[in-house]
């Protein structure tokens, strides 16, 4: 595709951008605006100009060109500046980001943010303020970095009956699990490699324990189902207890282990309910999510009319995330010229189904005494709690005997009660990993 001649539709007045934060994402955005400015002006009719940039340190080298006087440490002054038309928030965290965004909206300025933590905890407050003021609040970059998923959920699928969304939305954990699967490394070795490559923080808790994916799941569920879900509603388990033996068992069953964010819309006794959880899951090798390797992200959407969709790409990194911010920026600038704004479509508070009442098939590994009657005693415990076994295999003999099984779809509470009773059986040494199975529900 050839781009239109520059300056074809170049407007007289640039849209002046106030940038809050110039780290990984902010600096990438500055570079992208510089290289893409002419093409964007030609294609969209908006001329973007970054006029003010707020940071903490005025001396740090950011590797980007900024005119003298553009940098400041006073973020509030950037928001209030009459020379700023649109505000981009890429500072991160709750405060001062929340207050700065609310101030920008109150001043009638559209806001673009990449801040998942803030949106997952205070999204409704920000969305209500933006709707009331009639300005854009756009946040494509907040979920899965460079992958367009927010706009498809908000706009393209606005009329669709979305029933389930499953995502690999954390690149760090996907990288670790890929290494464990493909190289046979332990969790600790794979984490150390992720840290040395800059994919994982020195304190990896937010990624490996599922908090980061949980915040993204809350945002996805809110938009997919048009109902408000916050980070605290999301049940989460991380990957730090996944062992090489689990990975090997999954492979022998033609599955791979992925950290998934799962958002489901279900019918409850009093109407629609939403189930949102993040946990390691066994995914059949033929499922499209199983082929998402390394630090890539993907979001798999299931809808009644549209069927299955998958969005795939780079879920983090300065340039991919900056690209998503830039798309929002162009949109907001175009809307500003037209005097229009997008609607967010976050409805009232969701009825959340507690984790105990959620259902899925489960994989279990049980270390047992290798003697006659063991299987019968185990099967009796499952039967007592109404959990039916779909497949069962014995690995090893003698002291190393292990039973590996997959259940049919079962309630979490029933499965937990089963496990508690299994632990009391004299024939059971240990109940090892319990991993939910996805994509083979029955
Ligand atoms: N990095 C990614 O791949 C990615 C992907 C998706 C979403 N995001 C989101 O994007 C946001 C930014 O992430 P990032 O990786 O770019 O973070 P970062 O590299 O830590 O950059 C943060 C920037 O904010 C500035 N800052 C911090 N506190 C400030 C304050 N009170 N006033 C003014 N400036 C302040 C910092 O200034 P100094 O430079 O002077 O310290 C820095 O430039 C976060 O919400 C993050 O969750 C990031």
Concatenating the DSSP letter of every residue in 291-345 gives G--TTEEEEEEEETTTEEEEEEEE-SSHHHHHHHHHHHHHHHHHHHHHT------
Rounded distance from Cα 93 to ligand 1 centre (Å)? 9
Q: Characterise 108 by phi-psi region: left (phi > 0), alpha (psi -120 to 50), beta (else).
A: left
| Mean per-residue pLDDT, 123-132 | 95
Residue 216 appears among annotated catalytic residues: yes
Rounded distance from Cα 194 to ligand 1 centre (Å)? 21
Which ligand 1 atom sits closest to the C-alpha of 26? 16
pLDDT exceeds cutoff 70 at 157: yes
Specify the pLDDT at position 10: 47
Mutate which of 19, 21, 98, 126 for ligand 1 pocket (most atoms within 8 A of beta carbon): 21
Q: What CA–CA distances, in Å, run from 8 to 3, 120, 332?
A: 11, 41, 20
Specify the pLDDT at position 399: 79
pLDDT exceeds cutoff 80 at 2: no
Encode pLDDT of 245-299 as tens digits: 999 999 999 999 999 999 999 999 999 999 999 999 999 999 999 999 999 999 9
Rounded distance from Cα 114 to ligand 1 centre (Å)? 9
**332 Cβ partners below 8 Å, 6+ apart?**
86, 110, 112, 136, 138
Nearest-CA residue for ligand 1 atom 38 is 56
Tokens of 320: 């991919």
Contact 200, 191 (CB under 8 A): yes
Which ligand 1 atom sits closest to the C-alpha of 62? 39
Nearest-CA residue for ligand 1 atom 25 is 21
* Nearest partner of 402 among 381, 433, 356, judged by Cα: 433
Contact 54, 75 (CB under 8 A): yes
Mutate which of 91, 140, 199, 211 for ligand 1 pocket (most atoms within 8 A of beta carbon): 91
pLDDT exceeds cutoff 70 at 12: no
Mean pLDDT of the chain: 94
Nearest-CA residue for ligand 1 atom 18 is 23
Rounded distance from Cα 75 to ligand 1 centre (Å)? 13
Which ligand 1 atom sits closest to the C-alpha of 118? 45
Determine if the pTM surpasses 0.85.
yes
> For ligand 1, which residues put their CB under 6 angstroms from it?
20-26, 54-57, 60, 75, 90-92, 96, 114-116, 141, 145, 316-317, 321
Rounded distance from Cα 73 to ligand 1 centre (Å)? 14
Which ligand 1 atom sits closest to the C-alpha of 55? 34
Nearest-CA residue for ligand 1 atom 8 is 114
Which ligand 1 atom sits closest to the C-alpha of 89? 11
Encode pLDDT of 328-377 as tens digits: 999 999 999 999 998 776 778 889 999 999 999 999 999 999 888 899 99
Q: What is the band of 400 on the pLDDT scale with cuts at 50, 70, 90?
A: confident
Rounded CA separation 320/145 (Å): 6
Rounded distance from Cα 111 to ligand 1 centre (Å)? 16
Which candidate in 109, 116, 133, 216 is catalytic?
216
Rounded distance from Cα 259 to ligand 1 centre (Å)? 25
Specify the pLDDT at position 398: 82
Nearest-CA residue for ligand 1 atom 15 is 24
Mutate which of 19, 20, 22, 25 for ligand 1 pocket (most atoms within 8 A of beta carbon): 25
| Mean per-residue pLDDT, 84-104 | 98
Rounded CA separation 112/327 (Å): 10
Which ligand 1 atom sits closest to the C-alpha of 316? 3
Specify the pLDDT at position 64: 94
Strand arrangement of the beta sheet that strand 137-138 belongs to: 71-72, 48-54, 15-20, 86-89, 111-113, 137-138
């Amino acid at each position: 595709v050839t781009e239109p001649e520059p300056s074809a539709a170049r407007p007289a007045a640039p849209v002046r951008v106030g940038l809050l934060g110039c780290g990984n994402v902010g600096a990438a955005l500055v570079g992208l605006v510089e290289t893409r400015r002419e093409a964007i002006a030609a294609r969209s009719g908006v001329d973007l100009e970054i006029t003010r940039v707020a940071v903490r340190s005025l001396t740090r080298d950011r590797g980007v060109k900024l005119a003298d006087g553009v940098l400041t440490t006073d973020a509030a002054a950037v928001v209030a500046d009459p020379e700023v038309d649109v505000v981009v928030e890429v500072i991160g965290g709750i405060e001062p980001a929340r207050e700065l965004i609310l101030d920008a909206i109150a001043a009638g300025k559209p806001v673009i943010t990449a801040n998942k933590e803030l949106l997952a905890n205070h999204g409704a407050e920000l969305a209500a303020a933006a709707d009331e003021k009639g300005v854009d609040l756009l946040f494509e970059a907040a979920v899965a970095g460079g992958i367009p998923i927010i706009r498809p959920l908000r706009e393209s699928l606005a009329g669709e009956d979305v029933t389930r969304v499953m995502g690999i939305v954390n690149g760090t954990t996907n990288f670790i699990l890929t290494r464990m699967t493909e190289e046979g490394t332990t969790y600790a070795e794979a984490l150390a490699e992720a840290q040395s490559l800059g994919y994982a923080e020195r304190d990896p808790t937010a990624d490996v324990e599922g908090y980061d994916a949980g915040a993204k799941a809350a945002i996805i569920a809110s938009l997919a189902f048009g109902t408000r879900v916050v980070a605290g509603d999301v049940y989460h388990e991380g990957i730090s207890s996944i062992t090489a033996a689990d990975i090997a068992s999954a492979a022998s069953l033609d599955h791979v282990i992925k950290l998934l964010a799962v958002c489901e819309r279900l019918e409850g006794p009093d109407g629609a309910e939403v189930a949102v959880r993040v946990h390691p899951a066994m995914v059949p090798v033929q499922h499209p999510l199983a082929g998402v390797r390394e630090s890539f992200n993907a979001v798999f959407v299931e809808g009644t009319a549209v069927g299955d969709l998958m969005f795939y790409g780079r879920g983090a990194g300065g340039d991919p995330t900056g690209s998503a911010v830039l798309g929002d920026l162009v949109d907001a600038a175009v809307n500003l010229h037209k005097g229009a704004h997008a609607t967010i479509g976050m409805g009232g508070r969701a009825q959340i189904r507690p984790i105990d009442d959620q259902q899925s098939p489960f994989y279990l590994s049980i270390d047992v005494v290798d003697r006659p009657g063991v299987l019968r005693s185990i099967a009796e415990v499952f039967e007592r709690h109404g959990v039916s076994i779909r497949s069962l295999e014995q690995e090893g003999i003698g002291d190393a005997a292990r039973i590996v099984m997959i259940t049919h779809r079962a309630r979490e509470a029933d499965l937990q009660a089963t496990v508690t009773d299994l632990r009391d059986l004299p024939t059971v040494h240990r109940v090892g990993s319990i991993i939910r199975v996805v994509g083979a529900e029955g």
